[in-house]
């Protein structure tokens, strides 16, 4: 059995494609897909048959159909955007495409057509603040959050919204924003697969934060924040994406500067985190993904142009549960921006 692996390469106007062995993590290179305009963030449809790719240099979003057997990509539609989205996701039904725009201080929601392609114009275009960096709906599809990083002119806050999956509309929750301690800079987040916990990577704070979400109101309550760096690190660093294994036992966040991946274990009862340490990563580990079985982590070096595959140790692993062991590395190309993994069927 195997996976299709896709890596968008903003610096080479293409999507690199591999097949990965589910048992060993070995990568086998396949034909790339040419896509001009700086392909970067990817939103994968819940059925994994469609991916939406933001072409940040061209201010376009292209929808691609995925052949689950061969891995081939076919363009089914392209729409314009007013600027370049830094993050996209579909809602839980796959009927809407949500996007966050760092520089133009906004989020948008586009309807997705019956053929799977995003439709212009957006049904929502909402100003938030500079540094908007992620936009997703929660598992109930009733709420959404938009973290904003910290800088002199940025909110350094998590915006909270109600989401209507019948219309795609969003409305500010109460409170509308969750303020952060100075220079925390929430950037990306992920959900626990079975608990009401959210986990944020903090770009400027070099940390991860755990929150509890009220299922009735969709508002967040802070539970803990832990550093992603060793205590003796003195250099510059920023966090990037964040991922949790499908079992909900382990959480990972890369460090750009320290060039490592921080690992955490989540408590089975509370979802609270305990630090497992860091492992070295490719230079500037910005984009990464975990395979659907939770056995491998794939991390791309933004500066090195290489993709590293790590095995995630289970409870019987010799290197300790949740810790990472590098098993392979290969060249992918200039400026990798997003890693996507889907099963071969």
What does the pLDDT average to over 268-283? 97
Domain that includes residue 326, residue range: 1-34+281-345
The pLDDT tens digits of the residues spanning 180-199 come to 999 999 999 999 999 999 99
My answer on whether omega of the bond before 269 falls inside 30° of 0, hence cis, is: no
Kindly state whether residue 291 falls inside one of the protein's structural domains: yes
Kindly state whether residue 21 falls inside one of the protein's structural domains: yes
Q: How far apart are CA 149 and CA 8, in angstroms?
A: 23
What does the pLDDT average to over 32-58? 98
β-sheet with 136-137: strand ranges across: 136-137, 143-147, 157-163, 170-179
pLDDT classification of 1: cutoffs 50, 70, 90: confident
For residues 16 and 24, the answer to whether their CB atoms sit within 8 Å is no
Is 80 exceeded by the pLDDT of residue 315? no
Is 80 exceeded by the pLDDT of residue 251? yes
pLDDT classification of 314: cutoffs 50, 70, 90: confident
Is 60 exceeded by the pLDDT of residue 246? yes
The pLDDT tens digits of the residues spanning 106-117 come to 999 999 999 999
Is 70 exceeded by the pLDDT of residue 317? no
Kindly state whether residue 316 falls inside one of the protein's structural domains: yes
Kindly state whether residue 296 falls inside one of the protein's structural domains: yes
Q: How far apart are CA 96 and CA 47, in angstroms?
A: 14
The pLDDT tens digits of the residues spanning 135-153 come to 999 999 999 999 999 999 9
State residue 321's pLDDT score.
Answer: 85
Is 80 exceeded by the pLDDT of residue 316? no
Q: Write a three-state SS string for the chain.
A: CEEEEEEEECCCCEEEEEEEECCCCCEEEEEEEECCCCEEEEEECCCCCEEEEEECCCCEEEEEEECCCCCCEEEEEEEECCCCCCEEEECCCCCEEEEEECCCCEEEEEEECCCCCECCCCCEEEECCCCECCCEECCCCCEEEEEECCCCCCCCEEEEEEECCCCCCEEEEEEEEEECCCCCCEEEEEECCCCCEEEEEECCCCEEEEEEECCCCCCEEEEEEEECCCCCCCCCCEECCCEECCCCCEEEEEEECCCEEEEEEECCCCCCEEEEEEEECCCCEEEEEECCCCCEEEEEECCCCEEEEEEECCCCCCCCCCCEEEEEEEECCCCEEEEEEEECC
State residue 319's pLDDT score.
Answer: 55
Q: Number of folded domains in the chain?
A: 1
pTM listed for this prediction: 0.97
Which tokens sit at 272?
Answer: 């609270």
Kindly state whether residue 45 falls inside one of the protein's structural domains: no
Kindly state whether residue 26 falls inside one of the protein's structural domains: yes
The pLDDT tens digits of the residues spanning 54-99 come to 999 999 999 999 999 999 999 999 999 999 999 999 999 999 999 9
Q: How far apart are CA 310 and CA 31, in angstroms?
A: 23
Kindly state whether residue 16 falls inside one of the protein's structural domains: yes
What does the pLDDT average to over 125-135? 98
């Amino acid at each position: 059995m195997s996976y299709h692996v896709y890596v968008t390469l903003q610096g080479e106007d293409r999507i690199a494609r591999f097949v990965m062995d589910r048992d060993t993590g070995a990568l086998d290179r396949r034909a790339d897909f040419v896509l001009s305009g700086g392909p970067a963030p990817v939103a994968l449809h819940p059925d994994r048959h469609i991916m939406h790719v933001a072409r940040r240099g061209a201010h376009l979003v292209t929808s691609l159909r995925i052949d689950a057997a061969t891995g081939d990509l076919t363009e089914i539609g392209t729409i314009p955007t007013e600027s370049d989205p830094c993050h996209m996701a579909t809602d839980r039904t796959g009927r809407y495409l949500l996007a966050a725009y760092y520089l133009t201080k906004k989020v948008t929601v586009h309807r997705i057509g019956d053929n799977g392609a995003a439709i212009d114009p957006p049904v929502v275009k909402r100003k938030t603040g500079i540094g908007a960096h992620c936009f997703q709906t929660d598992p109930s599809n009733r709420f959404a959050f938009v973290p904003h990083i910290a800088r002199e002119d940025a909110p350094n806050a998590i915006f909270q919204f109600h989401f209507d999956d019948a219309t795609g509309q969003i409305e500010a929750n109460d409170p509308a924003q969750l303020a952060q301690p100075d220079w925390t800079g929430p950037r990306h987040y992920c959900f626990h697969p079975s608990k009401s916990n959210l986990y944020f990577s903090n770009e400027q704070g070099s940390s991860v934060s755990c929150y509890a979400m009220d299922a009735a109101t969709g508002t967040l309550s802070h539970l803990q924040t832990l550093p992603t760096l060793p205590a003796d690190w003195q250099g510059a660093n920023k966090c990037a994406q964040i991922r949790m294994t499908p079992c909900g036992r382990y959480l990972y966040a890369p460090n750009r500067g320290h060039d490592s991946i921080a690992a955490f274990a989540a408590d089975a009862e509370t979802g609270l985190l305990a630090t497992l340490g860091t492992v070295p990563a490719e230079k500037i580990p910005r984009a990464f993904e975990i395979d659907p079985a939770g056995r491998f982590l794939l991390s791309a070096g933004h500066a090195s142009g290489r993709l590293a595959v790590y095995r995630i140790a289970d409870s019987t692993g010799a290197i300790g549960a949740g810790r990472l062991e590098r098993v392979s590395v290969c060249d992918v190309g200039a400026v990798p921006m997003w890693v996507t993994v889907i099963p071969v069927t």
